[in-house]
Structure 1
Amino acid sequence: MKSKSSKSIKIAMIAAASSVLMTSAFAASIDGTTNVRIGGKVQSVDTATHSVTVINAQGVTESFQVGPNIPNLDKLKAGTAVYGTTARPVRLTVLESSRLAAVPTQDGRETVAQVTSVDSQRGSVTLRDTQGAELTVQANSPGAVAAVVPGTRVLVNAVNPAAPASGQVPR
């Protein structure tokens, strides 16, 4: 009888261990959004869809939606310098201390940053990248940041930077 009970305990321990492993695997990345400042020179304006296409300083074309509250959108001409703020999706991947060789990509889609603060109640983390720039990420699932502590290194991945985003174009 004793062997059946120890066998049950072993099975329960294996199940619990695999559950912990699965939980930590999911906790290793956090999906969220961050606000970024974008700008450039107007390439085109579609007043029907409230869409503006700009070419930024790096020569990259970006399209984004502007709100219906933007006046005189029909008067915005090609070549006009504009700027705005838009929400962009990001994925944070917690780096293990043994993964010291994480390097930012040259296209800017990935960068390494360090967590400077965590707001567990709001589900947000503030990061500082290797250049000193700060970035706040709002987690899609607020509980995802509960286990993150200041000092943690993360790989920041711009999930799909080429996708149209929502933003505003100031007058």
Structure 2
Amino acid sequence: MKVKAFGIVAGALIAAAPLASFAAGLPAPFEGSSTLQADGVVKSVDQAKHSVTVLDAQGGEASFNITDTSNLPQIKQGGKVHIRMMRNAVISVTRGADGHGAAAQSAQANTVHNLTAEVQTVDHATGIMALKGPNGAVFHIQGREPAKVVNVTPGMQVSVAYAPQVSVAVAPAQ
């Protein structure tokens, strides 16, 4: 169901992308995913609600609604855990490294997409891109099909439209 819903969202966003991006020689939009992994200590766990609150090494606190509950019965207060969050996205290049892009697409990026970032590095073999967000933080997105990121280069501006669903798994730390 989640995959089908993402496919519909992705299809709609790709279909809505202005044709100007292709005329400007920019790569076509493509699907990818972002994965965040972190370790921490369990502050609290609610088995019934499938939620866990974790403290990180700096004392920061975050709560997670666990979607993959296979390890949840093993999670106890005070125990060390490993959290893995994955979120699907559609990535659209809005401006080339040379600064050229479609004005219509840039305007759309501010209303349709969740985040605008600059490509820092691209591993064309794996499809993994390091992106620098508006707050200066660097994060990674992996293109589902590495061949679709072949024309993406450092310096390009991209819009990242995240799917509304987040997959969160928790496991005892080893």
Say yes or no: TM over 0.5: yes
Question: In 2, are the aligned partners of 1:126 and 1:136 still within 8 Å (CA)?
Answer: yes
1:118, distance to aligned residue in structure 2 (A): 1.0
Query: What is the SS of the residue equivalent to 1:93?
Result: strand
Question: In 1, are the aligned partners of 2:119 and 2:153 still within 8 Å (CA)?
Answer: yes
Question: In 1, are the aligned partners of 2:64 and 2:168 still within 8 Å (CA)?
Answer: no
1:128, distance to aligned residue in structure 2 (A): 0.6
Aligned twin of 2:138? 134
* Equivalent pairs, count: 138
CA distance in 1, matches of 2:172, 2:115: 27
Q: 1:43 to 1:103 in 2, by over 3 A?
A: farther
Q: Which has the larger radius of gyration?
A: 1
Query: What is the SS of the residue equivalent to 1:155?
Result: strand
Aligned twin of 1:35? 35
1:90, distance to aligned residue in structure 2 (A): 1.9
Q: 1:84 to 1:165 in 2, by over 3 A?
A: closer
CA distance in 2, matches of 1:145, 1:152: 12
The residue type equivalent to 2:36 in the other structure is: V
1:37, distance to aligned residue in structure 2 (A): 4.2
RMSD: 4.1
Query: What is the SS of the residue equivalent to 1:131?
Result: coil
Which of 157, 169, 173 is the equivalent residue of 1:166? Answer: 169
Map 1:117-128 to 2 at 5 A: 117-128=121-132
Query: What is the SS of the residue equivalent to 2:135?
Result: coil
Per-residue displacement from partner, 1:14-48 (whole Å, max 9, x unpaired)? xxxxxxx7xx49943121112124688544226xx
Question: In 1, are the aligned partners of 2:37 and 2:85 still within 8 Å (CA)?
Answer: yes
Identical amino acids, percent of aligned pairs: 20
CA distance in 1, matches of 2:81, 2:132: 26
Question: In 1, are the aligned partners of 2:119 and 2:131 still within 8 Å (CA)?
Answer: yes
Per-residue displacement from partner, 1:122-160 (whole Å, max 9, x unpaired)? 112110101111111111111110011111111112212
CA distance in 1, matches of 2:145, 2:168: 21
Question: In 2, are the aligned partners of 1:35 and 1:87 still within 8 Å (CA)?
Answer: yes
Q: 1:130 to 1:141 in 2, by over 3 A?
A: same
Query: What is the SS of the residue equivalent to 1:28?
Result: coil
Q: 1:110 to 1:168 in 2, by over 3 A?
A: farther
1:59, distance to aligned residue in structure 2 (A): 8.4
Per-residue displacement from partner, 1:44-84 (whole Å, max 9, x unpaired)? 226xxxx942368898752232665x8x715x14x989662
Q: Can you give the 5+ residue segments of structure 1 that lack an aligned partner in the other structure?
A: 1-20
Aligned twin of 1:53? 51
Q: 1:147 to 1:52 in 2, by over 3 A?
A: same
Q: Does 2:86 match 1:87? A: yes
Query: What is the SS of the residue equivalent to 1:149?
Result: coil
